[in-house]
Amino acid sequence: MTHGRCLEYLKSLQRFGIKLGLDNIRALLGSLGNPDRRFPSALIAGTNGKGSVAAMLARILSEHGFRTGLYTSPHLVRVEERIRIGDDIIPEKGFCRALSAVREGAERLLASGGLGHPSTFFEVLTAAALAHFAEEAVDFAVLEVGMGGRFDATNAVTPLLAVITTVSLDHQKYLGRTLGEIAFEKAGIIKKGVPVVCGVRGGTALRVIRRRARELRAPIVEVFGPGTAFSTRPAKGGFKFDYDTGRSRYEFKPSLPGVHQGENAAVAIRAAEVLGRVWRPLDRRKTVEAVGRTQWEGRLEWIGLKPPVILDGAHNPEGAAALAAYVRDVVRKPVILIFDSMKDKDLRAIASFLFPLARTVILTKVSMARAAEPEEVLLRWKGRRDNILTEPDVGKALELAKRLAGGRTPILAAGSLFLVGEIKRTLSLGQP
């Protein structure tokens, strides 16, 4: 397939929506010769932070000289962003080669009755990523779970290490209405005897994860558990962190801003420490250096314009709370907020964290059926409205924000990673 046909094929799969389950992806991988079995991997789940932890862990392994694959979702500008080796996004030829192989396998299986339903967008991309990593003979792959864990396509892999970053309310339609139910889904990535690194701090969610780990005799390492110490202190342009794992002490300043990224870095560091015992020795100094060099687009990303534009997904209440804390602690002034969110999100809770930060709120809408209309956001918002404007076109919303900012007030775009992607495309700052 040409690159254009590859993109058309993927777009055609979106009509099948989200179908959680492992039978299809296992059949697909089997048709490809089970590429996932040709390299060790780490599987990373969590409500928030899993993409950042995945990026940090991949950078740690790359800094040690290992050829490291990284599979994440969603993408911001180009779908190929989801599949990387080291710093390199999968090239168009490699992307189309892997995708063509997966399509052929999927069509054969569908014709023979080997699939329970047509392959979904995420199943096909997951299989393509694993096929590419096998073809390129990676030393290790870091795989970010798409949604939940137990029935996510990535969970067809048996990893060397499982990681669960955080658990909070999100995707309740698919994962359950309570923290315990959601934690159970995320704990579904735990495999028999496979160590699990857990960044969850106490409560029902941690109890659920501990119980599942005991059932499967999987050693559990609690990042912030007994015998550890984690602290934050102000530093120029952000924060520094001290973390004592009980085995080693680390002092670090992540390149990714925000207190929450210090916590994510602690999860990545602990994951690296475990891999250093069960896989290959890893150097503490290189681990710290890698945390300070990790780049991850769309997460508190500053675009150096006048006025500055700050991009962050903040697509659920926990993420919005972390972003609000960052704006209060670091930006320290009201912003112009460009906001959009998906219909199935807790719009009122997200808005309650973000709207009070803004001098003016501009409601917009990305070009997706799942995106909430500005009028729907207004219906759910019960707070102040006299500073809220609507501009459904994202590009025009950005231009309006620039005019209102007058070259002085920072612009914040948040509420969805899809909004971040459209803003980056508008600014022509996407990956080349």
pLDDT band at 83 (very low <50, low <70, confident <90, very high): very high
Say if domain 301-426 classifies as CATH 3.40.50.300: no
Query: By CB neighbour count within 10 A (0-12 exposed, 13-18 middle, 19+ buried), where does 133 fall?
Result: buried
**Domain residue extents for the chain:** 3-291, 301-426
Q: Which of 21-35, 284-298, 373-387 bottoms out in mean pLDDT, i.e. has the lowest?
A: 373-387
The two three-digit tokens of residue 274, written as one number: 């475990």
The two three-digit tokens of residue 301, written as one number: 């990303």
Please give the Cα distance from 111 to 127 (Å, whole number).
19
pLDDT mean across residues, the chain: 93
Query: By CB neighbour count within 10 A (0-12 exposed, 13-18 middle, 19+ buried), where does 184 fall?
Result: buried
Determine what percent of the chain is predicted with pLDDT higher than 90.
84
Please give the Cα distance from 87 to 69 (Å, whole number).
9
Looking only at the bridges linking them, the beta strands covering 220-222 and 229-235 are unpaired
Amino acid at 80: E
- Tens digit of each residue's pLDDT (9 = 90 or more) over 28-39: 999 999 999 999
pLDDT band at 279 (very low <50, low <70, confident <90, very high): very high
Q: What pLDDT does residue 159 have?
A: 98
Q: Cβ contacts of residue 353 below 8 Å, gap of 6+?
A: 314, 317, 320, 321, 323, 324
Greater pLDDT, 238 or 375? 375
- Tens digit of each residue's pLDDT (9 = 90 or more) over 240-274: 999 999 989 999 999 999 899 999 999 999 999 99
Amino acid at 66: F
Query: By CB neighbour count within 10 A (0-12 exposed, 13-18 middle, 19+ buried), where does 139 fall?
Result: middle
Q: What pLDDT does residue 171 have?
A: 67
Please give the Cα distance from 342 to 351 (Å, whole number).
12
Please give the Cα distance from 185 to 175 (Å, whole number).
6
Q: What pLDDT does residue 306 have?
A: 82
- Tens digit of each residue's pLDDT (9 = 90 or more) over 134-174: 999 999 999 999 988 999 999 999 999 999 999 987 767 76
Residue 430 predicted with pLDDT over 60: no
Q: What pLDDT does residue 427 have?
A: 87
pLDDT band at 431 (very low <50, low <70, confident <90, very high): very low
Write down the architecture of domain 3-291 according to CATH: 3-Layer(aba) Sandwich (3.40)
Rg from Cα positions in the chain? 21
Q: Which helix (H) or strand (E) holds 389?
A: strand 388-390
Summarize the confidence of residues 342-347 as an average pLDDT: 89
Q: What pLDDT does residue 370 have?
A: 86
φ, ψ at 70 (rounded to 5°): -135, 125
Query: By CB neighbour count within 10 A (0-12 exposed, 13-18 middle, 19+ buried), where does 404 fall?
Result: middle
CB atoms within 10 A of CB 137: 11
DSSP letters for 182-226? HHHHHGGG--TT--EEE---SHHHHHHHHHHHHHTT--EEETTST
Summarize the confidence of residues 41-57 as an average pLDDT: 96
Please give the Cα distance from 132 to 94 (Å, whole number).
7
- Please determine whether the domains at 3-291 and 301-426 fall in the same fold group of CATH: no
Query: By CB neighbour count within 10 A (0-12 exposed, 13-18 middle, 19+ buried), where does 67 fall?
Result: middle
Residue 116 predicted with pLDDT over 50: yes
pTM for the whole thing? 0.93
Determine what percent of the chain is predicted with pLDDT higher than 70.
98
Least Cα distance to 375 among 355, 358, 392 occurs for 392
Summarize the confidence of residues 328-338 as an average pLDDT: 94
Residue 122 predicted with pLDDT over 70: yes
